[in-house]
């Protein structure tokens, strides 16, 4: 089974076309990669399959040029069709064990977990990393993250309301990185925001 290195999961960028404006998603992802993003998840909720497939192939190629893992949120069939590096699913999406059966043993599988129990099940069912998150996106529980990190042997990254200004609060939790959306793609200067956030994450992990 393929593993994700903790280094690759340091700064996990999750796309969102909400802030595109005059730019393309490709342009924004490139800026994030230029700024040092170490992992990219393509997340689309409204595109039809044909447009999603075309976009996925384009961003997949870009990520390959940078040597950065590329996964797709939830859409397992699209990930399989384009031979993406893997998939990330939430608790309300397809069950991890079923995703693993479709993708095979050599793909990345990330699973969202809000509790220790969910994280343990995700690991048993083939996840190679998990994101520790809370329903309240403005509050990532240090205690929950630490408990999840102690309960599983796979890497854990935090998601939910994380910025360069508050990421230091996660020091000592046991996570190996963070996943963000608006802290990168919602910023005016995406490349600079990515650079600054990566620096803050590295400082947090060294603390």
Residue whose entry in the numeric block shows the structure tokens 């994280």: 119
Task: Give the C-alpha separation, 58 to 104, whole Å.
Answer: 23
Q: Is 167 in contact with 142 (CB distance < 8 Å)?
A: no
DSSP letter, residue 135? S
Q: Whose CA is closest to 160, among 145, 146, 148, 176?
A: 145
**134 an active-site residue?**
yes
178 to 46, 106, 189, 198: CA distances (angstroms): 25, 23, 19, 9
To the nearest 10°, the Cα dihedral for 148, 113, 118, 171?
A: 0
CB proximity list for 108: less than 8 A, separation 6 or greater: 2, 4, 69, 71, 85, 86, 87, 128, 129
Residue tagged active-site, from 43, 57, 80, 182? 43
Task: Give the C-alpha separation, 11 to 180, whole Å.
Answer: 8
Residue tagged active-site, from 30, 107, 112, 146? 112
Task: Give the C-alpha separation, 54 to 64, whole Å.
Answer: 16
Residue tagged active-site, from 17, 134, 141, 182? 134
Just list the catalytic residues: 43, 112, 134
């Amino acid at each position: 089974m393929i593993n994700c290195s903790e280094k690759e999961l340091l700064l996990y960028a999750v796309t969102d076309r909400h802030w595109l404006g005059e730019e393309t998603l490709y342009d924004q992802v490139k800026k994030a990669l230029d700024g040092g993003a170490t992992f990219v998840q393509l997340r689309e909720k409204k595109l039809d399959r044909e447009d999603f497939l075309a976009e996925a192939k384009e961003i997949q190629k870009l990520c390959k040029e940078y040597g950065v893992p590329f996964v797709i949120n939830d859409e397992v069939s699209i990930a399989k069709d384009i031979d993406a590096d893997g998939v990330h699913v939430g608790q309300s999406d397809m069950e991890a064990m079923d995703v693993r059966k479709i993708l095979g043993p050599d793909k990345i599988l990330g699973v969202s977990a809000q509790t220790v129990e969910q994280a343990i099940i995700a690991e048993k069912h083939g996840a190679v990393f998990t994101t520790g998150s809370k329903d309240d996106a403005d509050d990532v529980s240090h205690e929950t993250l630490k408990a999840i990190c102690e309960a599983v042997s796979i890497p854990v990254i935090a998601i939910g309301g994380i910025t360069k200004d508050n990421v230091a609060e996660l020091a000592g939790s046991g996570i190996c990185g963070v996943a963000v959306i608006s802290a990168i793609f919602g910023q005016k200067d995406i490349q600079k925001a990515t650079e600054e956030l990566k620096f803050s994450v590295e400082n947090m992990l060294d603390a």
